[in-house]
Amino acid sequence: MTAFLQLMKFDLKLYFRDYITIFWVLIYPVLMLAIFGSMYGDQPGFAEGTRFIDYYVPALCVLNVISVSVFTLNINIITQRESGVLRRYRVSPVRKTAVLASHSLQGVILVVLGAIEIIAVSKIVWNVNIEWSALALLFGCLLFGCLCFFTIGFALSGLAKSAGAGSGLAMIVFFPMLFLSGIMMPIELLPSIMQSISEWLPGAYFVTLAQQVWLGDSIFQYGKEMAVVLGAGVICFILAIWLFKWEN
């Protein structure tokens, strides 16, 4: 336990010294919120009494989960492997599951901070209605998404031999989910062929789940979405453990 706590402390310092991570998690989503919110924020939503901003807030929170997974966790593990940090861990009492758990906890902290910032800005600027029960469900949904989506980043880190290759793989995963999962644009507004592709992306199911619980629906109404996200997480977790390497 002491070794794990020391590992967490070390990783936490590294994460908050990474200005690129801070930008993508704490600055970029707010810029997206400002741009799209100013253009479409007060436009009517799909459900009666809702606005575009009501859908965009949870979608941006999901964007944070995905970006932390495929970029932050993925690249940081590769960087530690390239610099020899993981090799030194190998001769210590730290196991590979502890390394992944430590990075996951750092990722959760970043996701929670990002979500608080997004919700706070949306409340101040657009006076978004916040129900405490819906807020609790949204954060529960985000933690569930972290559990499942972080494994994607870990699996990618095992496939790539360098940070450059890891960034390339991250982009291949990230951009389809950004544009086809309902984050940049509602899936209902996409061409039919794009909607068909989105059905194969776990990010689309995650966005739907987050949006609907934020709007007040019960999370148990979306068993299919939860099953798809969980299934993707289980598959990628198996891949992450199998592909994990202490050194190149």
Q: Which residues pair with 44 in a beta bridge?
A: 51
Decide if 82 is inside a domain.
yes
* pLDDT given for residue 3 in this prediction: 61
- What are the backbone angles phi and psi of residue 78, rounded to the nearest 5°? -60, -40
Decide if 30 is inside a domain.
yes
Q: What percent of the chain has pLDDT over 90?
A: 63
Decide if 132 is inside a domain.
yes
Decide if 175 is inside a domain.
yes
**Cα–Cα distance, 163 to 154 (Å, whole number):** 13
Closest CA to 11 of 135, 140, 104, 123: 104
How many domains in the chain? 1
Task: Give the tens place of pLDDT for each residue, 35-70.
Answer: 988 888 888 888 778 899 999 999 999 999 999 999
* pLDDT given for residue 156 in this prediction: 95
Decide if 248 is inside a domain.
no
**Cα–Cα distance, 248 to 130 (Å, whole number):** 48
Decide if 83 is inside a domain.
yes
Decide if 170 is inside a domain.
yes
- Give the structural domain span for 39: 2-243
**Cα–Cα distance, 56 to 58 (Å, whole number):** 6
Work out the average pLDDT over 194-222: 94
pTM over 0.75: yes
Decide if 174 is inside a domain.
yes
pLDDT tier for residue 184 given thresholds of 50, 70 and 90 = confident
The CA dihedral of 143, 245, 228, 194, to the nearest 10 degrees, is 110
Work out the average pLDDT over 159-175: 93
